[in-house]
Amino acid sequence: MQFNLDPRSQIPIWEQIVNQMKEMIMKGIFLENEKIPSVRELSSLLIINPNTVSKAYQELERQGIIETIRGRGTFVAERAPVENIDKQQVEKIREALKRLIVEASYLGVEAQQFIELVEEVLKEIGGNADA
Amino acid sequence: MQFNLDPRSQIPIWEQIVNQMKEMIMKGIFLENEKIPSVRELSSLLIINPNTVSKAYQELERQGIIETIRGRGTFVAERAPVENIDKQQVEKIREALKRLIVEASYLGVEAQQFIELVEEVLKEIGGNADA
Amino acid sequence: MQFNLDPRSQIPIWEQIVNQMKEMIMKGIFLENEKIPSVRELSSLLIINPNTVSKAYQELERQGIIETIRGRGTFVAERAPVENIDKQQVEKIREALKRLIVEASYLGVEAQQFIELVEEVLKEIGGNADA
Amino acid sequence: MQFNLDPRSQIPIWEQIVNQMKEMIMKGIFLENEKIPSVRELSSLLIINPNTVSKAYQELERQGIIETIRGRGTFVAERAPVENIDKQQVEKIREALKRLIVEASYLGVEAQQFIELVEEVLKEIGGNADA
DNA sequence: GTGGTCTAGACCACA
DNA sequence: GTGGTCTAGACCACA
């Protein structure tokens, strides 16, 4: 488990935690039903306020990615197979992707290089995707 | 020229303008050295606060994408070929891409589908990509 | 006797026990003066903390629904006919009902459908309602 | 606009605000696209912490009931017709309803009286439901 | 021990 | 003016 938080980033710390936790779960660093650190543990580990961790955990729970069992702790939820892909959400991804590609292009990253970047990241994350 | 601004979006309006202006320039809707609308024109056209347009233009100018010539107006800058790719900036793109892929995966978009999405967007934008 | 406890629920486990015990008594699954399992029995049966069962039994006793007889065990109390309906308590029910109806409406459940839902539940529970 | 907050209630204040706001919108006290009080206004009106109001508003926004426009304020969202009723959510309503009916029964409220209570509340809320 | 709620108050971006 | 983020710290219910 390795968090990489940047307090200067535009992305709120709680959201960075959400993103990185999702990534770690995808990579298999946390397994289904495994206990994750308590709010207090993680906040003292990351030297941030417990409320910030709490907000991240609540968001993860809302997304169905973790589950809280009262008085016991917080656990990685079992991942339900996606039934219907939410087209509206995918459209948002598409828009964000477009922005990213435009950015990349201005940096001098051509189409082919961008695809290579995508494949690289897919490989990095995919590690335990089918676990 | 067609802006599509959503005041409800989490993305600030000035940033939406920046993004869409860059996209339009990439697509060739605005050509190099072409005059773009003044802050006043655009703000009254889009019915938004002139300060918001002004902030967008300042950011576009900072990025070297447009140029203001005193007393004449604002123009699309000539695009200099990128000499050295800014690795730090590409790293940011890579991180944003990773977040996007993780999101997509949780929505049920698999690796192959994601690549297709990328190719789709590349095609949409590509108009003048090699210009 | 069949308990259906969900540790993931927002409703505390002790309260789930209280609710389900009351439901079972209403349905006639437990009869008046019948012995119910001891705290130890039930906690080992449900594989939960004895304190949790204990808290549930205390609440049920406070509500006059069960009775503990020293050295003998715990029994379903005889249900006294209600003389005066506690208007303040009914007001709470009314408020909770209002919340529920508002929720249901936002989910797309119309007034008529809600009444049908109520009648359904009344039928399900009704077993011994007039006992 | 009339809030009725009880700090002693088990229901968190932010959730009381959520419930009552939804009820007021249903009743037509707030119309679609109408501005609702700012976080600061409402918090000073109710003499509670702005964070508590903020949490309520964020939850309402997450549910799609209100919309925030950056720098401008918060507005009642247009209510989209429900396409597919979420069966899992309705099941939760059903469970809550069962608990309520069991409670009511112990208070001496019989089946027929309960239905009358439901109809009463439906009438109270329904005021502007078709607006 | 666990997480949830709430207050008080600072600081920031946006329009 | 608007809402969003974060810290610090108190208090509480649950298991």
Q: Cα–Cα distance between D26 and D98 in angstroms, integer? A: 24
pLDDT, residue B127, reads 57
- Most C CBs within 10 A among A62, A66, A68, A70, hence the mutation to make, goes to A70
Asked if A124 and B102 count as a contact pair (C-beta separation under 8 A), the reply is no
Residue of C nearest to A64 (CA): C8
Residue D70 has pLDDT above 90, yes or no: no
Nucleotides of E under 7 A from a protein CB: 1-9, 13-15
Pairing of strands D73-76, A73-76: unpaired
pLDDT, residue B131, reads 42
Q: What confidence category does residue C76 fall into, taking pLDDT thresholds of 50, 70 and 90?
A: very high
Q: What confidence category does residue D80 fall into, taking pLDDT thresholds of 50, 70 and 90?
A: confident
Taking CA C47 as the corner, what is the angle to CA C46 and CA C48, rounded to the nearest 5 degrees?
95
pLDDT, residue B33, reads 95
Nucleotides of F under 7 A from a protein CB: 1-9, 13-15
pLDDT, residue A80, reads 87
pLDDT, residue C127, reads 56
Q: Cα–Cα distance between C39 and D116 in angstroms, integer? A: 39
Please judge whether C101 and D19 are an interchain contact, meaning their C-beta atoms are less than 8 angstroms apart.
no
Q: Output DSSP code: residue C48.
A: S
pLDDT, residue D127, reads 57
Using a pLDDT cut of 90, give the percent of chain B over it. Answer: 84
A16, closest nucleotide (Cα–C1'): F5
Please judge whether C7 and A70 are an interchain contact, meaning their C-beta atoms are less than 8 angstroms apart.
yes
3-state secondary structure of D125: helix
Q: Cα–Cα distance between A101 and A96 in angstroms, integer? A: 9
pLDDT, residue D98, reads 96
Closest CA to A121 of B92, B123, B126, B108: B92
Asked if C106 and D89 count as a contact pair (C-beta separation under 8 A), the reply is no
Helices (H) and strands (E) in chain D, counts: 5, 3
Tokens of D12: 């968190």
* pLDDT, tens digit, 9 for 90 and up, residues B30-60: 999 999 999 999 999 999 999 999 999 999 9
* Segments in chain A below pLDDT 70: 127-131
* pLDDT, tens digit, 9 for 90 and up, residues D83-99: 889 999 999 999 999 99
Chains that touch A (3 or more CB pairs under 8 A): B, C
The label of the residue with tokens 């009914």 reads: C90
Asked if A70 and C12 count as a contact pair (C-beta separation under 8 A), the reply is yes
Q: Cα–Cα distance between C120 and C117 in angstroms, integer? A: 5
Tokens of D4: 């009725």
Residues of B in contact with D74 (CB under 8 A): none
D50, closest nucleotide (Cα–C1'): E7
Count CA atoms closer than 13 A to A71's CA, side-chain side: 11
Residue C129 has pLDDT above 90, yes or no: no
pLDDT, residue A130, reads 46
Taking CA B93 as the corner, what is the angle to CA B89 and CA B96, rounded to the nearest 5 degrees?
135
pLDDT, residue C82, reads 86
Residue B130 has pLDDT above 70, yes or no: no
Angstrom distance, B34 CA to E12 C1': 36
Angstrom distance, D89 CA to E10 C1': 40
Specify burial of residue A126 (Cβ count, 10 A radius: 0-12, 13-18, 19+): middle
Residue type, C6: D
Mean model confidence pLDDT for chain C: 92
Residues of B in contact with A88 (CB under 8 A): none
- Most B CBs within 10 A among D32, D65, D67, D69, hence the mutation to make, goes to D69
Tell me, rounded to whole angstroms, the distance of Cα A32 from its chain centroid: 15
Phi then psi dihedrals of residue C105, to 5 deg = -60, -45
Q: Is any atom of nucleic acid chain E found less than 7 Å from the CB of residue B52?
A: yes
Q: Which positions 61-100 on chain B have a beta carbon less than 7 angstroms from any atom of strand E?
A: none
* pLDDT, tens digit, 9 for 90 and up, residues D10-48: 899 999 999 999 999 999 999 999 999 999 999 999 999
* pLDDT, tens digit, 9 for 90 and up, residues A108-130: 999 999 999 999 999 999 855 44
Helix (H) or strand (E) holding A73, with range, is strand A73-76
Asked if A104 and B93 count as a contact pair (C-beta separation under 8 A), the reply is yes
* Residue D14 β-bridge partners: none
